[in-house]
Amino acid sequence: MKSDDVSASQSVASVNPLQRALIEKTGHDNGFEHVLPAPGNAVTLASARHRSSATVVPMVGGFEVRFQPASPALVPELLRSFKLWAGADGVFRVPTLADLATLLRRAASLSQALPNQAVRDYHTAVAQVLAGLPAENRGTEVERLVRQRVGQDRYRDALLAYWGGACAVTGVTVTETLRASHAKPWAECTDDAERLDAFNGFLLAANLDALFDRFLISFDGTGRLLISDSLAQGDLDKLGIHQGMALRWLAVEHQYYLRWHRERFFLRGL
Protein backbone atom coordinates (compact mmCIF):
# COMPACT_ATOMS: atom_id res chain seq x y z
CA MET A 1 0.00 0.00 0.00
CA LYS A 2 1.29 3.49 -0.86
CA SER A 3 2.13 5.85 1.98
CA ASP A 4 -0.59 8.30 0.95
CA ASP A 5 -3.12 5.44 0.96
CA VAL A 6 -2.02 4.56 4.50
CA SER A 7 -2.42 8.13 5.73
CA ALA A 8 -5.81 8.40 4.04
CA SER A 9 -7.06 5.20 5.64
CA GLN A 10 -5.77 6.31 9.04
CA SER A 11 -7.77 9.54 8.76
CA VAL A 12 -11.06 7.64 8.46
CA ALA A 13 -12.84 7.44 11.81
CA SER A 14 -14.91 4.42 12.71
CA VAL A 15 -18.56 5.41 12.95
CA ASN A 16 -20.44 4.55 16.13
CA PRO A 17 -24.25 4.28 16.35
CA LEU A 18 -24.60 7.76 17.86
CA GLN A 19 -22.47 9.36 15.15
CA ARG A 20 -24.39 7.52 12.43
CA ALA A 21 -27.67 8.70 13.95
CA LEU A 22 -26.42 12.30 14.02
CA ILE A 23 -25.39 12.14 10.35
CA GLU A 24 -28.75 10.65 9.38
CA LYS A 25 -30.63 13.33 11.35
CA THR A 26 -28.52 16.08 9.79
CA GLY A 27 -29.43 14.71 6.37
CA HIS A 28 -33.11 14.38 7.29
CA ASP A 29 -33.27 17.98 8.51
CA ASN A 30 -31.46 19.39 5.47
CA GLY A 31 -33.06 17.92 2.37
CA PHE A 32 -31.80 14.32 2.43
CA GLU A 33 -34.47 12.49 4.38
CA HIS A 34 -33.74 8.93 3.22
CA VAL A 35 -30.83 6.62 4.10
CA LEU A 36 -29.60 4.13 1.48
CA PRO A 37 -27.49 1.02 2.07
CA ALA A 38 -23.76 1.83 2.11
CA PRO A 39 -20.62 -0.18 2.89
CA GLY A 40 -18.38 0.25 5.91
CA ASN A 41 -18.39 3.60 7.66
CA ALA A 42 -20.22 5.42 4.88
CA VAL A 43 -23.71 6.86 5.28
CA THR A 44 -25.52 7.49 1.98
CA LEU A 45 -28.32 10.05 2.06
CA ALA A 46 -31.01 10.58 -0.57
CA SER A 47 -34.41 12.25 -1.03
CA ALA A 48 -37.79 11.75 -2.68
CA ARG A 49 -37.79 15.45 -3.62
CA HIS A 50 -34.75 15.31 -5.89
CA ARG A 51 -32.46 12.70 -7.41
CA SER A 52 -29.10 13.67 -5.95
CA SER A 53 -27.53 11.64 -3.15
CA ALA A 54 -24.64 12.25 -0.78
CA THR A 55 -22.26 9.77 0.80
CA VAL A 56 -20.86 10.92 4.13
CA VAL A 57 -17.80 9.30 5.72
CA PRO A 58 -16.68 10.30 9.24
CA MET A 59 -13.05 11.43 9.28
CA VAL A 60 -10.71 12.44 12.07
CA GLY A 61 -11.69 16.07 12.53
CA GLY A 62 -14.79 16.12 10.40
CA PHE A 63 -16.62 14.49 7.52
CA GLU A 64 -15.90 13.67 3.88
CA VAL A 65 -18.84 14.17 1.52
CA ARG A 66 -19.17 12.87 -2.05
CA PHE A 67 -22.21 13.76 -4.15
CA GLN A 68 -23.87 11.68 -6.82
CA PRO A 69 -25.59 14.60 -8.56
CA ALA A 70 -28.82 14.48 -10.54
CA SER A 71 -27.58 17.47 -12.57
CA PRO A 72 -24.01 17.92 -13.87
CA ALA A 73 -24.21 21.55 -12.73
CA LEU A 74 -24.57 20.65 -9.04
CA VAL A 75 -20.95 19.91 -8.07
CA PRO A 76 -19.50 22.96 -9.92
CA GLU A 77 -22.01 25.17 -8.10
CA LEU A 78 -21.07 23.64 -4.75
CA LEU A 79 -17.36 24.00 -5.54
CA ARG A 80 -17.93 27.71 -6.17
CA SER A 81 -19.92 28.18 -2.96
CA PHE A 82 -17.73 26.09 -0.63
CA LYS A 83 -14.17 26.61 -1.82
CA LEU A 84 -12.67 26.19 1.65
CA TRP A 85 -14.14 22.70 1.98
CA ALA A 86 -13.64 21.52 -1.60
CA GLY A 87 -10.87 19.22 -2.73
CA ALA A 88 -9.50 19.03 -6.26
CA ASP A 89 -11.21 15.66 -6.55
CA GLY A 90 -14.65 17.18 -6.07
CA VAL A 91 -14.89 15.77 -2.54
CA PHE A 92 -15.91 18.09 0.29
CA ARG A 93 -14.30 17.87 3.71
CA VAL A 94 -16.29 19.67 6.41
CA PRO A 95 -15.14 20.03 10.02
CA THR A 96 -18.43 19.97 11.97
CA LEU A 97 -21.99 18.69 11.87
CA ALA A 98 -23.19 22.28 11.49
CA ASP A 99 -20.98 22.65 8.41
CA LEU A 100 -22.31 19.35 7.07
CA ALA A 101 -25.84 20.67 7.52
CA THR A 102 -24.99 23.84 5.57
CA LEU A 103 -23.47 21.85 2.69
CA LEU A 104 -26.34 19.36 2.50
CA ARG A 105 -28.98 22.10 2.69
CA ARG A 106 -27.42 23.99 -0.22
CA ALA A 107 -27.00 20.78 -2.24
CA ALA A 108 -30.64 19.82 -1.71
CA SER A 109 -31.85 23.31 -2.61
CA LEU A 110 -29.79 23.37 -5.80
CA SER A 111 -30.82 19.83 -6.72
CA GLN A 112 -34.45 20.93 -6.74
CA ALA A 113 -33.70 24.11 -8.71
CA LEU A 114 -31.33 22.87 -11.39
CA PRO A 115 -32.30 21.03 -14.56
CA ASN A 116 -33.90 18.52 -14.88
CA GLN A 117 -35.62 18.30 -11.51
CA ALA A 118 -37.54 21.56 -12.02
CA VAL A 119 -39.04 20.17 -15.24
CA ARG A 120 -40.12 16.94 -13.57
CA ASP A 121 -41.68 18.87 -10.69
CA TYR A 122 -43.45 21.15 -13.16
CA HIS A 123 -45.04 18.28 -15.08
CA THR A 124 -46.17 16.67 -11.83
CA ALA A 125 -47.71 19.93 -10.59
CA VAL A 126 -49.46 20.60 -13.92
CA ALA A 127 -50.91 17.09 -13.98
CA GLN A 128 -52.28 17.57 -10.46
CA VAL A 129 -53.94 20.89 -11.34
CA LEU A 130 -55.37 19.61 -14.63
CA ALA A 131 -56.79 16.55 -12.90
CA GLY A 132 -59.03 18.89 -10.94
CA LEU A 133 -60.34 20.70 -14.03
CA PRO A 134 -63.59 19.75 -15.77
CA ALA A 135 -62.92 17.63 -18.85
CA GLU A 136 -64.25 20.34 -21.18
CA ASN A 137 -61.52 22.74 -20.05
CA ARG A 138 -58.63 20.46 -20.96
CA GLY A 139 -56.80 21.29 -24.16
CA THR A 140 -58.24 24.83 -24.08
CA GLU A 141 -56.97 28.29 -23.24
CA VAL A 142 -57.61 27.42 -19.57
CA GLU A 143 -55.06 24.59 -19.78
CA ARG A 144 -52.52 26.88 -21.45
CA LEU A 145 -52.92 29.43 -18.66
CA VAL A 146 -52.57 26.71 -16.03
CA ARG A 147 -49.32 25.52 -17.59
CA GLN A 148 -47.96 29.05 -17.77
CA ARG A 149 -48.94 29.96 -14.19
CA VAL A 150 -47.55 26.75 -12.70
CA GLY A 151 -44.40 27.07 -14.80
CA GLN A 152 -43.75 30.64 -13.73
CA ASP A 153 -44.29 29.72 -10.08
CA ARG A 154 -41.87 26.79 -10.40
CA TYR A 155 -39.34 28.99 -12.21
CA ARG A 156 -39.49 31.62 -9.47
CA ASP A 157 -39.00 28.93 -6.81
CA ALA A 158 -36.00 27.60 -8.73
CA LEU A 159 -34.36 31.03 -8.98
CA LEU A 160 -35.04 31.83 -5.33
CA ALA A 161 -33.29 28.58 -4.43
CA TYR A 162 -30.41 29.02 -6.87
CA TRP A 163 -29.63 32.62 -5.85
CA GLY A 164 -30.20 31.99 -2.15
CA GLY A 165 -33.20 34.35 -2.00
CA ALA A 166 -31.13 37.40 -2.97
CA CYS A 167 -30.98 39.60 -6.07
CA ALA A 168 -28.39 38.31 -8.53
CA VAL A 169 -26.87 41.81 -8.76
CA THR A 170 -27.53 43.79 -5.60
CA GLY A 171 -27.90 41.01 -3.05
CA VAL A 172 -31.20 42.51 -1.81
CA THR A 173 -33.12 39.85 0.14
CA VAL A 174 -36.59 41.43 0.36
CA THR A 175 -38.46 38.60 -1.36
CA GLU A 176 -41.43 40.79 -2.27
CA THR A 177 -39.18 42.98 -4.46
CA LEU A 178 -37.55 40.10 -6.35
CA ARG A 179 -38.61 38.93 -9.80
CA ALA A 180 -37.70 35.81 -11.76
CA SER A 181 -36.39 37.29 -15.00
CA HIS A 182 -36.08 35.17 -18.13
CA ALA A 183 -33.22 35.99 -20.49
CA LYS A 184 -34.95 34.09 -23.27
CA PRO A 185 -38.66 34.87 -22.73
CA TRP A 186 -41.19 32.17 -21.86
CA ALA A 187 -43.05 32.58 -25.16
CA GLU A 188 -39.88 32.20 -27.23
CA CYS A 189 -38.44 29.15 -25.50
CA THR A 190 -38.45 25.99 -27.60
CA ASP A 191 -39.59 23.65 -24.81
CA ASP A 192 -40.27 23.32 -21.08
CA ALA A 193 -36.61 22.54 -20.41
CA GLU A 194 -35.66 26.04 -21.59
CA ARG A 195 -38.61 27.73 -19.89
CA LEU A 196 -37.77 26.19 -16.52
CA ASP A 197 -33.97 26.23 -16.78
CA ALA A 198 -32.61 28.05 -13.73
CA PHE A 199 -29.78 29.31 -15.95
CA ASN A 200 -32.23 31.01 -18.36
CA GLY A 201 -32.32 34.21 -16.40
CA PHE A 202 -31.69 35.79 -13.04
CA LEU A 203 -33.40 36.70 -9.80
CA LEU A 204 -33.51 40.49 -9.98
CA ALA A 205 -34.83 43.39 -7.94
CA ALA A 206 -37.96 44.83 -9.56
CA ASN A 207 -36.26 47.87 -11.13
CA LEU A 208 -33.57 45.72 -12.76
CA ASP A 209 -36.13 43.13 -13.82
CA ALA A 210 -38.29 45.71 -15.62
CA LEU A 211 -35.32 46.94 -17.65
CA PHE A 212 -33.90 43.46 -18.30
CA ASP A 213 -37.30 42.23 -19.47
CA ARG A 214 -37.45 45.05 -22.04
CA PHE A 215 -33.83 44.61 -23.18
CA LEU A 216 -32.82 48.01 -21.80
CA ILE A 217 -30.08 46.39 -19.75
CA SER A 218 -28.15 43.16 -20.23
CA PHE A 219 -24.90 41.56 -19.03
CA ASP A 220 -21.66 40.87 -20.86
CA GLY A 221 -19.85 37.54 -20.87
CA THR A 222 -18.21 38.30 -17.52
CA GLY A 223 -21.47 39.38 -15.85
CA ARG A 224 -20.92 43.14 -15.98
CA LEU A 225 -24.00 45.29 -16.52
CA LEU A 226 -24.70 46.71 -19.98
CA ILE A 227 -26.94 49.79 -20.09
CA SER A 228 -28.88 51.09 -23.09
CA ASP A 229 -27.92 54.54 -24.35
CA SER A 230 -31.63 55.36 -24.40
CA LEU A 231 -31.73 55.52 -20.60
CA ALA A 232 -31.08 58.98 -19.16
CA GLN A 233 -28.41 59.22 -16.49
CA GLY A 234 -30.78 61.09 -14.21
CA ASP A 235 -33.28 58.24 -14.36
CA LEU A 236 -30.54 55.69 -13.75
CA ASP A 237 -29.42 57.63 -10.68
CA LYS A 238 -32.96 57.64 -9.30
CA LEU A 239 -33.23 53.89 -9.92
CA GLY A 240 -29.90 53.26 -8.21
CA ILE A 241 -28.43 51.72 -11.38
CA HIS A 242 -24.88 52.53 -12.43
CA GLN A 243 -21.94 51.37 -14.50
CA GLY A 244 -19.83 48.87 -12.61
CA MET A 245 -22.74 46.81 -11.34
CA ALA A 246 -22.38 43.11 -12.07
CA LEU A 247 -23.86 39.70 -11.39
CA ARG A 248 -22.74 38.20 -8.09
CA TRP A 249 -21.56 35.19 -10.09
CA LEU A 250 -22.00 33.73 -13.55
CA ALA A 251 -22.03 30.05 -14.48
CA VAL A 252 -21.00 28.60 -17.84
CA GLU A 253 -24.59 27.44 -18.30
CA HIS A 254 -25.83 31.05 -18.26
CA GLN A 255 -23.81 32.02 -21.33
CA TYR A 256 -26.11 30.56 -24.03
CA TYR A 257 -29.12 32.46 -22.72
CA LEU A 258 -27.14 35.65 -22.10
CA ARG A 259 -25.87 35.68 -25.68
CA TRP A 260 -29.48 35.40 -26.85
CA HIS A 261 -30.49 38.30 -24.58
CA ARG A 262 -27.55 40.49 -25.65
CA GLU A 263 -28.48 40.10 -29.30
CA ARG A 264 -31.92 41.56 -28.54
CA PHE A 265 -30.33 44.23 -26.35
CA PHE A 266 -28.01 45.41 -29.13
CA LEU A 267 -30.77 45.21 -31.77
CA ARG A 268 -32.96 47.41 -29.60
CA GLY A 269 -30.22 50.01 -29.50
CA LEU A 270 -29.90 50.25 -33.29
Q: Which residues of 189-210 are buried (b: 16+ CB within 10 A; e: fewer)?
A: beebebbbbbbbbbbbbebbbe
Query: pLDDT per residue over 196-243, tens digit each?
Result: 899 999 999 999 999 999 999 999 999 999 999 999 999 999 999 999
Task: Supply angle C-alpha 138, 143, 147, rounded to 5.
Answer: 140
Q: Which of 43, 62, 50, 48 is nearest to 100 (CA)?
A: 62
Q: What is the pTM of this model?
A: 0.80
Q: What is the pLDDT of residue 256?
A: 96
In whole angstroms, give the CA distance from residue 153 to residue 180: 9
Q: What is the pLDDT of residue 14?
A: 73
Query: pLDDT per residue over 94-132, tens digit each?
Result: 999 999 999 999 999 999 888 777 777 777 888 888 788
In whole angstroms, give the CA distance from residue 159 to residue 178: 10
| C-beta of residue 118 within 8 angstroms of C-beta of residue 151 | no
